[in-house]
């Protein structure tokens, strides 16, 4: 799969996830073989007003490149301005536009998946971004707003006409949020309707899922979201399977312990002791899903405040 000057022989990408796909996790994913990570979405309005928190989210490290930075906006002018700023900043290689976020605080402003209800405005936004930048430009969207408004095929055609280089489709409606089952058949219809690459997203957790979504959709690439939470090994496993057709063994308990502590150290390095240790709590609960006495362990992690706290819990259990 090609995006601009980038070529991916195993196009299995990390999805943008707010509060998850920060620099720390993107580095881990790249180390595990992820060829392209998408950063958590950034507000175009925040870029416009030079919000300190927003600008911090636009930073990156050389070891996580290539990197796709995702923005969201409600108006063409704001989107174009933000896109141009990201390109000029030089911390990302690909720009992605969000038309899939279901969060009420986003959709109430006419952003994210709310744009699926306004194809004309969505087309004007995508066209404005395309004119504002030269870097590869992708868009992520959902199946539709709800089952009465399933219009992703129409939206994909508009995106292609606007000059977008690739489309990621999450096979759920906004109304579903993350419940129910992703509709892979609708992704197949998008693939048949456009000539640009289509990246399939939704319910890909195992090697069997990877096989099936490629078979059902005919997609050019696959994007992994929630299945990657606390599981950066998924990229190593999927890359190996894509190339060989063979499954790697699951990570050992020692693998989990070492990765958890490395993730913590990266968070502490990039966000400081106070924020880093508190953000690590949710990641620690993901790393310990499915293990014996996991609930007790997660309760301990949720009270941890320092690196020493985490290290003591890990040493005692693992």
Catalytic sites, residue numbers: 101
Pairing assessment for the beta strands 166-173 and 198-201 based on DSSP bridges: parallel
Do 250 and 287 contact (CB within 8 A), yes or no?
Answer: no
120-to-2, 117, 155 alpha-carbon distances in Å: 28, 9, 10
Pairwise CA distance, residues 124 & 225, whole Å: 28
Chain centroid to CA 316: 33
CB atoms within 10 A of CB 308: 10
Residues 6+ apart with CB under 8 A from 314: 257, 260, 261
Pairwise CA distance, residues 247 & 158, whole Å: 39
- Farthest CA pair distance, the chain: 58
Long-range contacts from 286-290, C-beta under 8 angstroms, 24+ separation: 286/229, 286/230, 286/231, 287/230, 287/231, 287/256, 287/259, 287/260, 287/263, 288/230, 288/256, 289/230
- Please tell me the total number of residues recorded for the chain in this structure: 318
Do 24 and 270 contact (CB within 8 A), yes or no?
Answer: yes
Pairing assessment for the beta strands 37-38 and 42-43 based on DSSP bridges: unpaired
């Amino acid at each position: 799969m090609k995006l601009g000057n980038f070529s991916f022989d195993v196009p299995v990408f990390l999805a943008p996830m707010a509060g998850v796909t920060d620099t720390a996790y993107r580095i881990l994913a790249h180390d595990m073989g992820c060829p392209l990570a998408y950063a958590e979405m950034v507000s175009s309005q925040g870029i416009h007003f030079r919000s300190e928190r927003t600008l911090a989210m636009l930073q990156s490290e050389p070891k996580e490149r290539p990197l796709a930075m995702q923005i969201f906006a409600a108006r063409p002018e704001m989107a174009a301005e933000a896109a141009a700023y990201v390109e000029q900043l030089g911390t990302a290689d690909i720009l992605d536009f969000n038309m899939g976020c279901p969060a009420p605080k986003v959709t109430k402003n006419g952003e994210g998946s709310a744009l699926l209800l306004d194809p004309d405005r969505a087309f004007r936004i995508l066209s404005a971004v395309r004119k504002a930048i030269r870097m590869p430009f992708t868009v992520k969207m959902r199946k539709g707003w709800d089952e009465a408004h399933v219009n992703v095929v129409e939206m994909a055609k508009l995106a292609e006409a606007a000059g977008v280089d690739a489309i990621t489709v999450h096979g759920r409606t906004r109304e579903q949020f993350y419940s129910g089952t992703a509709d892979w058949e609708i992704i197949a219809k998008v693939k048949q309707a456009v000539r640009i690459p289509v990246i399939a997203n939704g319910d890909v957790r195992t090697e069997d899922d990877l096989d099936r979504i490629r078979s059902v959709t005919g997609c050019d690439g696959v994007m992994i979201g929630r299945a990657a939470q606390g599981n950066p090994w998924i990229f190593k496993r999927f890359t190996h399977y894509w190339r060989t057709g063979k499954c790697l063994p699951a990570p050992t308990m020692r693998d989990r312990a070492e990765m958890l502590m490395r993730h913590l150290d990266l968070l502490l390095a990039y966000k400081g002791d106070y924020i880093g240790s508190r953000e690590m709590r949710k990641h620690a609960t993901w790393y310990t899903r499915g293990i014996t006495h996991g609930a007790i362990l997660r309760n301990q992690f949720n009270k941890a405040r320092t690196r020493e706290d985490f290290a003591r819990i890990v040493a005692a259990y693992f």
